[in-house]
A and B are shown apart, each in its own frame.
Chain A
Amino acid sequence: MGPQLRRHIWSGLFIVGFFVLWQALCWLFNVSDIVLPKPSEIIVTIIVRMPALWPHVLQTLYTTLIGFGLGIAIGIALGVVIGSSRLAYDVAYPLLIGFATIPKVAVVPIFVLWFGAGGVPAVLTAMIMCIFPIVVNVATGLATTEPELEEVMRALHASKLEILWNVGLPRTMPYFFASLKVSVTLAFVGTVISETVASNRGIGNVMMIASANFDVPLVFAGLLILAVLGVALYAVFSVIETNITGWAHRKDEVAIG
């Protein structure tokens, strides 16, 4: 436990140090609030404005989680299809990369055109942001499953579905969770992009209005809230990951135990 605790303390100190340095530089060079507000001011802004901010926080969180959930469902489905055969992998990959390359900001107006401004485009943007890493990781996990493991199942006359369920998917879990950690932060990006462009609710919208009013501390307050939400969800999936895919991280376990 010793070295791990020390690592946690160091990373905590690193974060605090970052904000202290920021605060100190602002003091030292007398930076204006309009350019870069001090961390202390940002925190005060968050606390004072919380009653007004709270519904927007919930809105953003809610939108992100729905988009993320849809992204997971579609991502797994596509990943399983693409990863389960060499042919599908080769055929579908170029198109998939093509879609991944499109800047998602450019897609928001299309969603607005189709579904109108508001929550739906935000959910969809969050969704398409997080699909790609999930598809790629699930497909890679399945495609790289050791043939020996599958042979064990095939020798038992297991069906394709049973092989997928008992070997393919468990084998893919470490890849899947790695992609979830990336995707959940991307989902936030998607939500905020869409809220900034076409919504009257959510943190993205708040930041848009605040910057139009030169209320820079509020813009930074929005950024900080997003960062905290992102880290919190990342942490949640990290914990689930260690519990489910502990078998794939045995090096750590050996080193600690």
Chain B
Amino acid sequence: MTPATDLNPRTHPQYFVELEEVTLSYGRDDKKINALGLTNLRLKQGDFVALVGPSGCGKSTVLKLVSGLINASTGHVYVAGRQVGAESVRVGMAFQNPTMLPWLSVRENVMLPLKIVPPFRQDYRAKRNGEFRDRADALLKEVGLENFGDKRPWQLSGGMLQRASLCRALVHEPQLLMLDEPFGALDQFTREELWAIMQELWTKLRPTVLLVTHDLKEAGYLANRICVMRARPGQIIDDAEVPFPRPRTIEMSYTPPFVALTQRLRELIVAARPQKEAA
């Protein structure tokens, strides 16, 4: 895809996303806050990596760095061998809040990336009532919203909006998918249902996924690899493969090895909590 000569000499061709000795701090001089300590993180293409850790540890910061929403203070972020922002990788993103545009219908919201992202944007006018519309509808059907494309966002429940938000993150077939606690605000049953949908979509489309979550069961269910972060400054303190076979099921999460995994993660996070909160 990208010619080898264009690759930055400091990148490794076997990785799709690389954070090389990245730090991030806000403010200046004496009021400086280290949001992210020296961090290295590498993702292979098609991998599914979960970031877990205590609140305020900089999980979402890592996500924003990789998607180019914020810039690193020091170090480098590479996506597909290029500096982030200069790469032409399609990125999909889903947030904790569905953040639908209220003046558009649900379908139009889902189609938004097609309007913005090349190569789809060139054909948007021609295909928005044909191919693109069908593509959005197919995704909506997949998440059980086939009759809601024409509705306005406020006419849908929180869980439905979150499904639509997943559709929007996936409609342009992103090579890189960023999930910032997209299931966090949902009830347990909706959440488990969406995990299954997410796993299915990932298996089918195989984007590289970086998932930020508080939910250890979610991380164990969805991810190939789980990175544990500690707070102040944010840093990755543990990086482990998840060995369970796919497709994974909710029942699996009650088996001893799965429980052992979440317990181990829990202990790591408790130990990593900032002293003030732990006391």
Q: Which positions in A face B, CB cutoff 8 Å?
A: 146, 148-149, 151-158, 162, 166-167, 170-171, 173, 245, 247-248, 250
When the two chains form their complex, are residues A155 and B154 in contact, meaning their CB atoms are under 8 A apart?
no
Taking each of A152, A154, A157, A158, which has the highest tally of chain B beta carbons within 10 Å of its own beta carbon? Answer: A152
Interface string of B105-127 (1 = CB under 8 A from A): 00000001101110000000000
B152 located at the interface, meaning its Cβ lies under 8 Å from any Cβ of chain A in the complex: yes
Q: Please name all residues of chain B whose beta carbon is closer than 8 Å to the beta carbon of A166 when the two chains form the complex.
A: 101, 112, 115-116
A166 to B212, CA, bound (A): 27
Q: Please name all residues of chain A whose beta carbon is closer than 8 Å to the beta carbon of B113 when the two chains form the complex.
A: 156
B103 located at the interface, meaning its Cβ lies under 8 Å from any Cβ of chain A in the complex: yes
B35 located at the interface, meaning its Cβ lies under 8 Å from any Cβ of chain A in the complex: no
- The majority secondary structure among interface residues of chain B is loop
Measured CB to CB, the nearest residue on chain A to B153 is A247
B184 located at the interface, meaning its Cβ lies under 8 Å from any Cβ of chain A in the complex: no
A-B contacts besides A148-B99, A149-B101, 11 pairs, CB < 8 Å: A148-B95, A152-B93, A152-B99, A155-B91, A156-B113, A157-B91, A157-B117, A170-B103, A171-B103, A247-B103, A247-B154
When the two chains form their complex, are residues A156 and B97 in contact, meaning their CB atoms are under 8 A apart?
no
A49 to chain B, nearest CB (A): 47
B97 to chain A, nearest CB (A): 6
Measured CB to CB, the nearest residue on chain B to A151 is B69
Contacts A/B (CB < 8 Å), 18 sampled:
A148-B95, A151-B69, A151-B95, A151-B99, A152-B95, A152-B99, A154-B68, A155-B69, A155-B92, A156-B112, A157-B68, A157-B91, A157-B117, A158-B116, A162-B116, A167-B101, A247-B102, A248-B102
Residue in B99, B117, B168 whose CB lies within 8 Å of A149: B99
Q: Please name all residues of chain A whose beta carbon is closer than 8 Å to the beta carbon of B117 when the two chains form the complex.
A: 156-157
B67 located at the interface, meaning its Cβ lies under 8 Å from any Cβ of chain A in the complex: yes
When the two chains form their complex, are residues A250 and B103 in contact, meaning their CB atoms are under 8 A apart?
no
When the two chains form their complex, are residues B116 and A173 in contact, meaning their CB atoms are under 8 A apart?
no
Interface string of B189-224 (1 = CB under 8 A from A): 000000000000000000000000000000000000
Q: Please name all residues of chain A whose beta carbon is closer than 8 Å to the beta carbon of B69 when the two chains form the complex.
A: 151, 154-155
B52 located at the interface, meaning its Cβ lies under 8 Å from any Cβ of chain A in the complex: no
A157 to B68, CA, bound (A): 8
Interface string of B24-55 (1 = CB under 8 A from A): 00000000000000000000000000000000
A157 to B95, CA, bound (A): 16
Closest 4 CB pairs of A and B: A155-B93, A148-B99, A247-B103, A156-B116
When the two chains form their complex, are residues A156 and B102 in contact, meaning their CB atoms are under 8 A apart?
no
A171 to B103, CA, bound (A): 8
A92 to B85, CA, bound (A): 32
Measured CB to CB, the nearest residue on chain B to A244 is B103
B231 located at the interface, meaning its Cβ lies under 8 Å from any Cβ of chain A in the complex: no
B80 located at the interface, meaning its Cβ lies under 8 Å from any Cβ of chain A in the complex: no
B178 located at the interface, meaning its Cβ lies under 8 Å from any Cβ of chain A in the complex: yes
Q: Please name all residues of chain A whose beta carbon is closer than 8 Å to the beta carbon of B112 when the two chains form the complex.
A: 152, 156, 166
B238 to chain A, nearest CB (A): 27
Measured CB to CB, the nearest residue on chain A to B115 is A166
A3 to B92, CA, bound (A): 46
| CB proximity to A under 8 Å, residues B127-180 | 152, 154, 168, 178
Given known A-B contacts A151-B69, A154-B69, A247-B152, A170 and B91 have beta carbons under 8 A apart? no
Q: Please name all residues of chain A whose beta carbon is closer than 8 Å to the beta carbon of B68 when the two chains form the complex.
A: 154-155, 157
Q: Please name all residues of chain A whose beta carbon is closer than 8 Å to the beta carbon of B99 when the two chains form the complex.
A: 146, 148-149, 151-152
Q: Please name all residues of chain A whose beta carbon is closer than 8 Å to the beta carbon of B152 when the two chains form the complex.
A: 247, 250
B278 to chain A, nearest CB (A): 31
B204 to chain A, nearest CB (A): 22
Q: Please name all residues of chain A whose beta carbon is closer than 8 Å to the beta carbon of B91 when the two chains form the complex.
A: 155-157
A162 to B121, CA, bound (A): 12
A116 to B15, CA, bound (A): 73
Interface string of B77-105 (1 = CB under 8 A from A): 00000000100000111010101011100
Q: Please name all residues of chain A whose beta carbon is closer than 8 Å to the beta carbon of B103 when the two chains form the complex.
A: 170-171, 173, 245, 247-248
Measured CB to CB, the nearest residue on chain A to B95 is A148
A162 to B113, CA, bound (A): 12
Q: Please name all residues of chain B whose beta carbon is closer than 8 Å to the beta carbon of A167 when the two chains form the complex.
A: 101
A149 to B152, CA, bound (A): 16
B216 to chain A, nearest CB (A): 26
A106 to B235, CA, bound (A): 65
A61 to chain B, nearest CB (A): 32
Q: Please name all residues of chain B whose beta carbon is closer than 8 Å to the beta carbon of A155 when the two chains form the complex.
A: 67-69, 91-93, 178
A148 to chain B, nearest CB (A): 5
Measured CB to CB, the nearest residue on chain A to B113 is A156
